[in-house]
């Protein structure tokens, strides 16, 4: 089974499985196709966290494909540029591109296919083109002026014939195809073994021709970014050569017969576990599923968990044992009352005093402070839901389960076409994940060289009664560990099947500060699909929630695969008519 956010990636993954590949081979091939099929949502210059179940090892592992801040990226350096927040676009926000290393590490350790085989589908689509979705056309159209006036290398790549590609047309990226062809050629010339070729490919990417092109572009060019000013980059060849993807143990939490696994607190994933720890003290089964009591309770728990994310999470020593402890959550649970909270209330795990960054004043992303008065590029941050509820694009997701029982959940993102100028020698741009750092000393997410930004990327895995069960996830920035949690609760408490749980009316909170430039927040604001019902909305408003009602099929882009007894199952998101689940 394969489920993903784009039908071409799902079909690619199934093709690998049908030709003898395992789940890890299939996920890698699908992941590279997503870079081409959804270039407005991810790219080769981005990153990927992965959760996987190895049937041979009988365990869950985390692959960290999240790159780190450059050696030159210091708070003092940004202050010298007159910046108090990291821009949301351009070269200053680049971290080491981690996606390639993450995919290669999983392929080498658990996969069976060669570099040439897993890259072949992506090379084909980059060379011959993919159908342009309305959202690709819309995204390019939204940054057309920026590309024409400020980022000509991006205009050359994404405005074929000088025009915004129309929906239904075909869009190719021959320069990216050439980059991957050269990578394969150099790898095959360097070694005759699969392992040797994968090592050679990593070397070419992080020390060879790819790294050289990235370092040269970063050092010798400067571009207008979301600060309104023109800046060069900080990323160097040494930064790329000094980084490698890693395998880590997951963080887990046991909830009513289920064990959920997430990344460590260098990502926001543990907020899912904290929400479960809080909700474990409520009788969700006794509430009307998706009724006012249920939505209120789940949303208020999310506010507390994400307040702790703001105070405690980062690539540092995080007191997760205390944050997930019964005593801590029993105390925190008492803060959930009958009324919606309008405060950001982090806790004090183990008696430690929380320290929050100094946030911009509350407001929407468009009116939050931190933007200069100069003409500003669009496409900042990871905009997911607009006022009209339309998904604007941010990230991808892919889940795979194979005939052996191996399972993968991966959330590739970053390096999307609107993030920074295209590197003309490579056909892709750098990511902007460093915008998640704070330029404030003493906070968990303070910028420092070699640190991982606290990413929102959050794949999920769950065991049921100790046995591997479910790989799932969604795009969505700060919403990922709300939408994914809602899906999980729909399975556990709503007693829905995979597709019903994805299709169920979705909701989320914007109460806490955004992880993305310019870091605005909207205290008390809650988004719901209108299928929730007018009566529920009215009761939520009576309780103090500022409810913004969105279209009936507008929130969430989940996909999932499962092992369920003698069956394998999969489901994908119908919203946007783009995701697809397949199996045989």
- Is the pLDDT at 284 greater than 90? The verdict is yes
Structure tokens at 214: 């990235």
Name the domain count of the chain.
Answer: 1
pTM, to two decimals? 0.94
**pLDDT value at position 426?**
98
Residue 366 is predicted with a pLDDT of 37
Q: What is the DSSP string of 92-139?
A: TT-----HHHHHHHHHHHH--S-HHHHHHHHHHHHHH-EEPPHHHHHH
Q: Helices 292-312 and 534-542, interaxial angle, to 10°?
A: 50
pLDDT tens digits, residue range 129-168?
A: 999 999 899 999 999 999 999 999 999 999 999 999 999 9
- Region 251-278: mean pLDDT is 98
In the chain, DSSP finds a helix count (H) and a strand count (E) of 19, 20
pLDDT at site 465:
95
Range of the domain at 305: 248-339+458-582
Average pLDDT over residues 238-244: 98
Contact 179, 185 (CB under 8 A): no
Mean pLDDT across 13-17 = 98
Per the DSSP assignment, residues forming a β-bridge with 414 are 42
Residue 344 in any domain: the answer is no
**Residue-averaged pLDDT of the chain:** 93
Query: What pLDDT does 394 receive?
Result: 66
Residue 272 lies in a domain: yes
Query: What was the pLDDT predicted at 362?
Result: 54
Give me the phi and psi of 326, to 5 degrees please.
Answer: -60, -40
* Peptide bond before residue 518 is cis, with ω within 30 degrees of 0: yes
Secondary structure of residue 214 in the 3-state scheme: helix
DSSP 554: -
Q: In which band, very low, low, confident or very high, does the pLDDT at 384 lie, cut at 50, 70 and 90?
A: very low
Q: How do beta strands 567-572 and 460-464 pair?
A: unpaired
Mean pLDDT of 568-580: 94
Element (H, E) at 519: none
Please name which of 50, 109, 63 lies closest in space to residue 400, comparing C-alpha atoms: 50
Instruction: Determine, yes or no, domain membership for 541.
Output: yes
Check residue 359 and give its pLDDT. 75
Residue 361 pLDDT:
60
Count of residues for the chain?
584
Distance from C-alpha of 407 to C-alpha of 51, rounded to nearest angstrom = 8
Q: Is residue 485 part of a domain?
A: yes
pLDDT in tens, 77-103: 999 999 999 999 999 999 999 999 999
Closest by CA position to 442, among listed 551, 367, 354, 319: 354
Q: What is the mean pLDDT of residues 306-317?
A: 97
Which pLDDT belongs to residue 231? 97
pLDDT of residue 358: 87
Query: Given a cut of 60, is residue 381 above it in pLDDT?
Result: no
Query: Tens digits of per-residue pLDDT, 336-361?
Result: 999 999 999 999 999 999 999 987 66
Say whether pLDDT at 260 is over 70.
yes
**Mean pLDDT score, 173-184:** 98
Whether residue 287 lies inside any domain: the answer is yes
Residue 197 lies in a domain: no
Q: Are 13 and 30 in contact (CB under 8 A)?
A: yes
Q: pLDDT tens digit string along 432-455?
A: 999 999 999 999 999 999 999 999
Residue 510: pLDDT band with limits 50, 70, 90: very high
Q: Taking residues 366-395, report their average pLDDT.
A: 38
In a domain, 369, yes or no: no
Q: Is pLDDT of 71 > 90?
A: yes
Question: What average pLDDT does range 405-423 have in this prediction?
Answer: 96
Q: Is residue 319 over pLDDT 60?
A: yes
Q: Tell me: pLDDT of 367 over 70.
A: no
Is residue 380 over pLDDT 70? no
Q: Residue 493 is part of a domain; what is its CATH number? A: 1.10.246.130
How does DSSP assign 461-495, residue by residue? EEEETTEEEEEEE---GGGHHHHHHHHHHHHHTS-
């Amino acid at each position: 089974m394969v489920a993903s956010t784009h039908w071409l990636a799902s079909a690619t993954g199934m093709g690998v499985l049908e030709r003898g590949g395992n789940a890890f081979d299939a996920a890698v091939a699908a992941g590279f196709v997503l870079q081409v099929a959804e270039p407005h949502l991810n790219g080769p210059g981005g990153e990927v966290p992965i959760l996987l179940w190895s049937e041979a090892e009988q365990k869950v592992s985390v692959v960290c494909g999240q790159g780190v801040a450059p050696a030159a990226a210091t708070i003092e350096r940004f202050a010298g540029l007159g910046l108090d927040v990291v821009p949301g676009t351009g070269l200053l926000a680049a971290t080491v591109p981690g996606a390639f290393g993450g995919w290669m590490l999983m392929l080498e350790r658990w996969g069976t296919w060669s570099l040439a085989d897993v890259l072949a589908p992506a090379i084909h689509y980059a060379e011959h083109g993919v159908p342009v979705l309305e959202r690709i056309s819309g995204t390019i159209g939204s940054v057309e002026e920026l590309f024409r006036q400020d980022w000509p290398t991006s205009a050359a790549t994404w405005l074929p014939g000088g025009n915004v590609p129309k929906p239904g047309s075909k869009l190719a990226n021959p320069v990216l195809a050439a980059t991957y062809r050269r990578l394969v050629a150099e790898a095959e010339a360097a070694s005759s073994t699969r392992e040797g070729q994968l090592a050679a490919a990593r070397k070419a990417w992080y020390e060879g021709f790819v790294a050289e092109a990235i370092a040269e572009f970063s050092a010798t060019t400067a571009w207008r970014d979301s600060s309104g000013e023109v800046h060069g980059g900080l990323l160097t060849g040494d930064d790329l050569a000094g980084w490698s993807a890693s395998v880590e143990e997951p963080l887990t939490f046991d909830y009513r017969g289920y064990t959920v696994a997430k990344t460590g607190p260098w990502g926001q994933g543990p907020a899912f576990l904290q929400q479960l720890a809080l909700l474990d003290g409520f009788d969700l089964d006794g509430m009307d599923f998706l009724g006012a009591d249920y939505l209120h309770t789940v949303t208020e728990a999310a506010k507390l968990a994400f307040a702790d994310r703001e105070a405690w999470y980062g690539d540092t020593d995080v007191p997760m044992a205390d944050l997930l402890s019964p005593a801590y959550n029993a105390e925190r649970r008492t803060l959930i009352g009958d009324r919606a909270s309008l405060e950001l209330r982090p806790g004090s795990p183990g008696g430690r005093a929380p320290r929050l960054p100094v946030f911009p004043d509350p407001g929407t992303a468009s009116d939050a402070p931190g933007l200069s008065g100069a003409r500003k590029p669009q496409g900042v941050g990871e905009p997911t839901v607009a006022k009209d509820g339309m998904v604007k694009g941010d990230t991808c997701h892919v889940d795979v389960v194979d005939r052996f029982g191996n399972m993968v959940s991966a959330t590739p993102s970053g390096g999307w076409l609107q993030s920074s100028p295209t590197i003309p020698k490579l056909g892709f741009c750098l990511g902007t994940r460093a915008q998640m750092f704070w330029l404030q000393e003493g906070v968990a997410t303070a910028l420092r060289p070699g640190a991982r930004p606290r990413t929102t990327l959050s794949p999920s895995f769950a065991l049921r009664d100790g046995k591997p069960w479910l790989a799932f996830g969604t795009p969505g920035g700060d919403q990922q560990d709300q939408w994914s949690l809602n899906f999980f609760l729909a399975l556990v408490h709503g007693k829905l099947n995979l597709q019903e749980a994805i299709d169920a009316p979705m909701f989320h909170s914007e109460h806490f500060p955004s992880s993305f430039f310019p870091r605005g927040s909207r205290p008390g604001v809650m988004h719901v699909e209108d299928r929730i019902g007018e009566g529920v909305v009215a009761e939520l408003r009576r309780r103090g929630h500022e409810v913004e009602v969105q279209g009936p099929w507008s929130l969430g882009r989940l996909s999932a695969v499962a092992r369920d007894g003698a069956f394998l199952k999969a489901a994908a998101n119908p919203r946007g008519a783009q995701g697809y689940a397949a199996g045989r």
